[in-house]
Amino acid sequence: MGGRDHREGTMNRDQVLVSVSALKKHFPITQGIIIQRQIGAVKAVDGVSFDIHRGETLGLVGESGCGKTTVGRTILHLYPPTAGKVTFEGTDLTSLKAEELRKMRRRMQMIFQDPFSSLNPRMTIARIIGEPLRVHMSASSKENNQRVRELLHLVQLNPRFINRYPHEFSGGQRQRIGIARTLATNPEFIICDEPISALDVSIQAQIVNLLEELQDHLELTYLFIAHDLSMVRHICDRVAVMYLGLIVELAERDELYDHPLHPYTQALLSAVPIPDPVKTRARQRVILSGDVPSPIDPPSGCRFHPRCPIVADVCSEIEPEWQELAPGHWVACHLAESGQSLI
């Protein structure tokens, strides 16, 4: 599936809208009932850094449990960060007080993965979509209903559905309702947390097309979290690959797919189906041995080294540096410069 070309808008696409620096999120492991003491921590995110430019879509990919969703929730401070800094349009979110953060949060929203559990079954669509308006916009009931109808039309749902309940809708329709709720406060930055993974394949393309249309129409910026690498190539401008709490490679979409440098990225791409039986038979399939190590006690050195097919002695001893080996192509691997490829 080929990638799309963004239409030229009025926004400055060279401007950094969101900057994440050395972000960490550790969940404490405690012992005891009355007096609890910390005996360890789950290092879900352990030092992640990247920038997102205004108007672009940055893809964040990796295996389940690598920390992708935690990155998104920590950026929005749904999880308070353990360390590091998140800057939105020059404002350090980690330094804001609760009321200041609440005012800033209307400009940053999230589309959740599961459209079945993210909508309150006891609330009508009018209340679900109108909730952000009541919290952030202080609009009247009449203005709320008018805005809800506009949002339903924007996500291609019938505005007459306004008084129905979530159980009356399909999964794809529920996700459209979730997107409408996300758009209620006119955000500039949206984190899409695997927004299509819970949907039927026939519906996934419709939701992705809707997200693209909304981005062009409303000049939105996305962090698109996913594990479907084919869909990521279609919608994203740049792609970051995450493994066990760290980003191991970051590059422009086509550069990453055509010239992956990290062995983990190469292994992921080798599993992407190709609609060409000749190329499929000729391609080298990379099978990784073992399981993903525990984020409670990650391996020393390069975290991928216990499963890496081209591991060297240095990999288990020294953590690889984050280096730019080509313009805009960053990788953390001791052997990336050697040019070894698994595929």
- C-alpha dihedral sign at 176, 178, 183, 185: positive
Which tokens hold the place of 199? 């949907």
Predicted confidence (pLDDT) at residue 341 exceeds the cutoff of 70: no
Distance CA 173, CA 305 (A): 43
Q: What is the pLDDT of residue 103?
A: 87
Distance CA 32, CA 333 (A): 40
Distance CA 336, CA 278 (A): 28
Percent of the chain with pLDDT over 90: 63
Q: What is the pLDDT of residue 180?
A: 95
Predicted confidence (pLDDT) at residue 336 exceeds the cutoff of 60: yes
Model confidence band, residue 248 (pLDDT cutoffs 50, 70, 90): very high
pLDDT tens for each residue of 259-288: 999 999 999 988 877 776 776 666 677 778
Predicted confidence (pLDDT) at residue 117 exceeds the cutoff of 70: yes
Beta strands 238-243 and 57-61 are parallel
Percent of the chain with pLDDT over 70: 92
| Domains with residue ranges and CATH for the chain | 16-107+187-338 (3.40.50.300)
Beta strands 108-111 and 189-193 are parallel
Model confidence band, residue 14 (pLDDT cutoffs 50, 70, 90): confident
Which tokens hold the place of 34? 């009355």
